[in-house]
Structure 1
Amino acid sequence: MSRVILRFLSYFAVVFAIDQLIKWVFLHGFRYHGSFVDLILVYNKGVAFSMLSFLGANLKYLQLGLIALLLGYLLGQKELLRSHTAAFGLILGGGCSNILDRFIHPGVVDYIFWHKWFEFAVFNFADIMINLGVAIILIQALILRKKK
């Protein structure tokens, strides 16, 4: 199990560090305006699409509690963590990076704004990693279901 924890922590740390580094670049003035995407600094005070922003500062504590519950559950359900090590590392690395933003900035630091053909919410690397982690779990579940 220690190898699983080490792999999980590796994925977690890499996602967390990359996301915080990218955010640092935007916090220090980087901007780009393109025909498909703009890279701009935005503080998101809610969750996806600014939902739950009405919770204000309480949102960070709610999210922190949910992360702690998920981590506790995963440590108790070792087989689940073993079968989805990378995915949970991506999800929790991105989630913790976004929660850290809530404690040290006015909101989550977002910076990718897709605007070609349609306008999408502004998001960040951590959001991509969270969604990738969820997609990996779903794909693994579908593959396992087909094998049975």
Structure 2
Amino acid sequence: MSRKLFKFSTIFFFVLIIDQLIKLLFLKGFRYDGEFFSLILTFNRGVAFSMFAFLGEWLKILQILLILALFTYLLYEKDLFKNHTVAFGLIFGGGVSNLVDRFIRGGVVDYVFWHKWFEFAIFNFADVMINLAVCIIFTQIFLKFKRRKA
């Protein structure tokens, strides 16, 4: 288990630090306007697609509770943690980094804005890591199911 915890911690801190460093670039004025996408500084006071922004300060508390609940559940469900260590490192690293933004900057720092053919939500590296983690978990579950079936 200590190897898994080391792997989890390494991924967690990697995502947290990389995400915060990228966000600092945008806070210092970096900007790019392209044909397909733009890299522009925005602050999201809600969650995905700015949902729940009306919760204001309560959103921070809800996110802390959600992160703590998931972490507590993983302590109880050790096999789940063991089977998806990398994915949970990505999820917690991204989630905590976005939560840090809420406390320090008043909202999540987002900067990737896709605008070619359709306008998509503005997002950041942490969001990508969280979505990647969900894809990894679904892929692992699907492959495990497929192996059992065969």
Distance 2:137 2:98 in 1: 21
Name stretches of at least 5 consecutive residues in structure 2 with no aligned partner: none
Alignment of 1:6-85 (within 5 A): 6-85=6-85
SS in 2 for 1:42: strand
What TM-score results when the alignment is normalised by the length of structure 2? Answer: 0.97
SS in 2 for 1:38: strand
- The letter for the 2-side match of 1:29 is G
- The letter for the 2-side match of 1:8 is F
Distance 1:145 1:28 in 2: 47
**Aligned counterpart, 1:141:** 141
- The letter for the 2-side match of 1:42 is T
SS in 1 for 2:122: coil
Distance 1:114 1:83 in 2: 33
Distance 1:40 1:106 in 2: 17
SS in 1 for 2:116: coil
- The letter for the 1-side match of 2:59 is L
**Aligned counterpart, 1:128:** 128
Shift of 1:52: 0.5
**How many residues are aligned here?**
148
Distance 1:64 1:22 in 2: 23
Runs of 4+ aligned residues of structure 1 deviating over 6 Å after TM superposition are: none
Name stretches of at least 5 consecutive residues in structure 1 with no aligned partner: none
Aligned-residue sequence identity (percent) comes to: 60
Render the CA deviation track for 1:51-109: whole Å, top value 9, x for unaligned. Answer: 00010011011001100110111112111111000000001100000000000012000
Distance 2:75 2:28 in 1: 37
What TM-score results when the alignment is normalised by the length of structure 1? Answer: 0.99
